[in-house]
Amino acid sequence: MSSQLLSFTDRGIYCADGDFYIDPWRPVARALVTHGHSDHARWGHAQYLCTHQALPVIRHRLGDIRAEGIAYGETRQIGGVEVSFHPAGHVPGSAQIRIARRGEVWVVSGDYKVEADGLSEAFDPVRCHTFISECTFGLPLFRWQPQRLIAEQLAAWWQGNAAEGRTSILAAYGLGKAQRLMRLLPDAGPILTHGAVEETTRILRDQGYALPPTIRVSAGVDAKSHPGALVIAPPSALGTPWARRFGPAAEAFASGWMALRGIRRRRGLGTGFVISDHADWPGLNAAIRATGATRVFVTHGYTTPFRRWLEEQGYDAGIVQTEFGAEESDAAVEADPA
Amino acid sequence: MKRFAALFNALDATTRTGEKTAALAEYFRSAPEADRVWTIALLSGRRPKRIVNATELRLWAAEAAAVPLWLFEECYAIAGDLAETIARLLPPPERETDLSLDATLRALIAQGGRPEPERRSFVTGVWAGLGPDERFLFNKLMTGGFRMGVSSGLMTRALAQATGVEAAVMAHRLMGDWDPARTRFADLTEDGGAAEGARPYPFALASPLEAAPDSLGAPEAFLAEWKWDGIRGQIIARPGTFAIWSRGEDLITDRFPEFAPLQDHLPPGTVLDGEIVAWGGNAPLPFADLQKRIARKTVPKKLLAEAPGHFLAYDLLEAKGVDLRGAPLSERRAHLESLLAALPAGLPLTPSTVVQGDWETLAKIRATARAQMAEGLMLKRLSSPYHAGRKRGDWWKWKLDPFSVDAVMLYAQSGHGRRANLFTDFTFAVRDGNDLVPFTKAYSGLTDAEFAEITRWVGKHTVERFGPVRRVVPELVFEIGFEGIQASPRHKSGIALRFPRMLRWRHDKGVDEIDTLESLRALLRQVSMPGPTTAD
């Protein structure tokens, strides 16, 4: 009973009193899942619990699983602990998970961002004693502009390309970022989607998320049939024969990593939109402060400097090794929903 | 600065050279004339003298950004660019000012030599008045190493577009030593300035020969000569002027005082292209001897005696004040030889040795290049003019294959700029008994995809961290190529390599199959020995 409420194992973050794991990366009996990105919702667990809003995408991705939904804010007793899910603002359906045992409260952030994007359920700080936080962008290099400014940049880029007779190809992660972007776009022409993006978009639209009409790219859908179009595709589709069907095109990537010039140049991209579904430096600091926690564990991202920073701010801070996200390299950026 | 930042962003936003040229040409037509001159200077590597060092900048910036210095350093390690790190960390500007590039640079240069508090308040004051883009550029101007993804060739073409002057003529006018603070745009773009006298010609450059030489056709169409391992240079002897330029457009006249007597003997109006080497009496000394001279602005007598400079002339670009570059090489070469033959003996200037034979003979001769202190052979089409820059087809460098060893990666560090956040800088070790001895670093030779793969690997195989450096599990084997090897008491391994790079990633080899320190020492003995060596 005196043991830590949550412990850190090689399968994932574990709660002994409730006998469940949070976002485990190896198969377990019971998994509580914060959101549908593939580094958090993995295949092979006997039982899943996630928000009602996250469930359709997770089912779509993982196929035939035993899964149950839970409402935001609903409390549930699992073994000796009380569990609830709270909006993380990362992508539609994403949650922080609160675990309480006799007045002691821990919160696992999953991935989160502080700015309300108008699509995902807005981040809601949860008071706790111990906060387990991501820190993908845990360096002061990363400060996002308000998304309305990004919306202006996107509109100008799209319209500029269209005026030059070029298709706009915008690379973005297929769950969350892609849908967030389509909502930011002006009604200035057709929005085409790569199959990987269209699948999630359809599911979210069916759930009732307000998304603009999109056209899946298939045979006969190209620059001729849809002049002045904007195409949303996963980053891996850039520069492939798939992308070449649009003829003269301007390519851009929408990611928090685009804040770094070196990364943008390495990808050979002139244009990068700095927009992320993770908290920036001020966001991480504000979120941690808002929890009132005195102890903070940081998981994936710039963990070493961020932990040191937190210690200097007076927190009892530690690092948890997880298999979430990329390490501090961006080599895995392609796969990372940043 | 806003106009300049707009130019920079336009250049940065595209990888198409056509768009870059158009953006620059537009700038050269419309920007204030003084700003154009500075831009030309910056793009051709003429940087203003640094008034602050990187340590000062870090301290000032960390304080202005209110972050601890260690955190500033972490950010720098990730961004890989000091100017960008500062621009991203500083708080938003208090007010926005828009001084011209010319005014900004003059104000900056005027800070030179002032005490730290004055320079500091100047720099932080400028920061406070600039938006992020201009701030980034201002930092770049202060830190030097300013690149805008524009080659000097591209800039020359843009200037040619903007002014209507032919690109080759423009390239020539931009050569040499001119000070942007005292030069007008017209001085650069119109003919006949005072700087004319010492101005070198753009160097003709060769392309590497990748195919077999018989793909070039008959050997009789080519002049073959040694590709000397020295400093490519031009000697300018014009009435009242004597100058020696290196290919990097550095004026090196004073570093090689032994060439000064040439001005009394070369006919006025002579320009020679050739290689500066350290001379052993009949043949060049190893490059390492010349290297001792390169760093020195003034040369001690002892060094002058140990490693005297010598000019091996390749080509005659100007005779009696007439530009010969349009004449065929065969004529220029004949002219060169008769000109040099008329000089008194004992001068440090001789024609570079020509070698002859069919391709097979030439291949055999080339194999002995290392013993000649050469890197291989040059093949130059006898009918070719002296091109400005690299023009594929007439001049070929047929270099020796590099030396190579298999070595294991021991440390990895992330790169800078385009390679920030990617592990690209590696330290390699060879085996010495049961130990692994680090012997070289290498940064290049792999594809971006390979670097990305290695970066992921390093993330999972780090044993220890020392700041930005990771010690990794010694598992990945690479074939390391290099052009030369010499003894070096400063290195733990006792050897130093010339131009080390990764030739390939040996997925097929394990750490037990790498080369040994003894094999490197054997190579060193072989290379230092007089007489012919076998290549590889």
- The reply to whether residue A262 touches residue B71, judged by beta carbons under 8 angstroms, is no
Residue B422 shares a structural domain with residue B381:
no
Side-chain-side CA neighbours of residue B274 (13 Å): 26
Is B175 within the bounds of a domain?
Answer: no
* The pLDDT of residue A175 is above 80: yes
What band does B192 get if pLDDT is binned at 50, 70 and 90? low
Per-residue model confidence (pLDDT) at position A145 = 94
- B19 neighbors B157 (Cβ within 8 angstroms): no
Residue B368 shares a structural domain with residue B439:
no
Answer yes or no: pTM beyond 0.90: no
Q: Is B79 on the interface with A (CB under 8 A)?
A: yes
Chain B residues whose beta carbon lies within 8 Å of the beta carbon of residue A327: 456, 459-460
Is B148 within the bounds of a domain?
Answer: no
pLDDT in tens, A215-266: 999 988 988 899 999 999 998 888 888 888 898 999 999 999 999 888 887 7
Of B15, B70, B421, which has the smallest distance from its Cβ to A268's Cβ? Answer: B15
pLDDT in tens, A27-64: 999 999 999 998 899 999 999 999 999 999 999 999 99
- CA–CA gap between residue A248 and residue A245 (Å, rounded): 9
What band does A1 get if pLDDT is binned at 50, 70 and 90? very low
Chain A residues whose beta carbon lies within 8 Å of the beta carbon of residue B458: 329
Mutate to test the interface with A, among B14, B63, B74, B470 (most CBs of A within 10 A): B74
Closest residue, chain A, to B76 (C-alpha): A141
Is B332 within the bounds of a domain?
Answer: yes
How many domains does the structure of chain B reveal? 3
Of B421, B451, B455, which has the smallest distance from its Cβ to A260's Cβ? Answer: B421
Chain B residues whose beta carbon lies within 8 Å of the beta carbon of residue A139: 71, 74-75, 78
- CA–CA gap between residue A280 and residue B188 (Å, rounded): 48
Residue B120 shares a structural domain with residue B229:
no
Residue B384 shares a structural domain with residue B433:
no
Residue B102 shares a structural domain with residue B251:
no
Residue B369 shares a structural domain with residue B453:
no
Chain A residues whose beta carbon lies within 8 Å of the beta carbon of residue B470: none
* The pLDDT of residue A147 is above 90: yes
Domain end residue (candidates: B143, B172, B190):
B143
Domain end residue (candidates: B375, B399, B423):
B399
Q: Which of B227, B441, B492, B509 is catalytic?
A: B227
- CA–CA gap between residue A82 and residue A75 (Å, rounded): 6
Kindly provide the ipTM of the predicted complex, given to two decimals. Answer: 0.91
What is the DSSP track for A64-82?
S--EEEE-BT-EEEETTEE
* Residue-range definition of the domain harbouring residue B312: 207-399
Q: Is B84 on the interface with A (CB under 8 A)?
A: yes
What band does B536 get if pLDDT is binned at 50, 70 and 90? very low
- Which tokens go with A67? 């899964």
Residues 396-425 of B with CB under 8 A from A: 414, 416-423
Per-residue model confidence (pLDDT) at position B196 = 61
- The reply to whether residue B453 touches residue A331, judged by beta carbons under 8 angstroms, is yes
* The pLDDT of residue A336 is above 70: no
Length, in residues, of chain B? 536
Domain end residue (candidates: B143, B162, B189):
B143
Is B361 within the bounds of a domain?
Answer: yes
- CA–CA gap between residue A149 and residue B240 (Å, rounded): 61
* The pLDDT of residue B408 is above 90: yes
Chain A residues whose beta carbon lies within 8 Å of the beta carbon of residue B465: 304
Mean predicted confidence (pLDDT) in B116-144: 92
Residue B268 shares a structural domain with residue B380:
yes
- The reply to whether residue A265 touches residue B74, judged by beta carbons under 8 angstroms, is no
Residue B390 shares a structural domain with residue B407:
no
- In single-letter form, the type of residue at position B161 comes to Q
Is B185 within the bounds of a domain?
Answer: no
Q: Is B147 on the interface with A (CB under 8 A)?
A: no
Domain harbouring B85, CATH code? 1.10.3260.10
Mutate to test the interface with B, among A139, A157, A310, A336 (most CBs of B within 10 A): A139
Is B62 within the bounds of a domain?
Answer: yes
- A80 neighbors A109 (Cβ within 8 angstroms): no
* The pLDDT of residue A333 is above 50: no
Length, in residues, of chain A? 338
What lies within 8 Å, CB to CB, of A76 at 6+ separation is A70, A82, A83, A84
Distance to chain A for B513, nearest Cα, Å: 29
Mean predicted confidence (pLDDT) in B405-415: 91
Distance to chain B for A327, nearest Cα, Å: 6
Residue B15 shares a structural domain with residue B135:
yes
Closest residue, chain B, to A331 (C-alpha): B452
Closest residue, chain B, to A142 (C-alpha): B88
Domain harbouring B258, CATH code? 3.30.470.30
B492 is catalytic: no
Chain A residues whose beta carbon lies within 8 Å of the beta carbon of residue B452: 331
Unique residue bearing structure tokens 């400005």: B388
Residue B291 shares a structural domain with residue B414:
no
Per-residue model confidence (pLDDT) at position A23 = 96
- CA–CA gap between residue A26 and residue B338 (Å, rounded): 81
- B446 neighbors B505 (Cβ within 8 angstroms): yes
Is B168 within the bounds of a domain?
Answer: no
Side-chain-side CA neighbours of residue B220 (13 Å): 0
pLDDT in tens, A298-317: 998 889 999 999 999 999 99
Between B77 and B116, name the one with better pLDDT: B116
Domain harbouring B516, CATH code? 2.40.50.140
Domains and CATH numbers, chain A: 7-141+277-335 (3.60.15.10), 147-273 (3.40.50)
Residue B417 shares a structural domain with residue B389:
no
Distance to chain A for B75, nearest Cα, Å: 6
- CA–CA gap between residue A224 and residue A215 (Å, rounded): 14
- The reply to whether residue A312 touches residue B456, judged by beta carbons under 8 angstroms, is no
Q: Is B229 on the interface with A (CB under 8 A)?
A: no
Residue B485 shares a structural domain with residue B438:
yes
Is B301 within the bounds of a domain?
Answer: yes
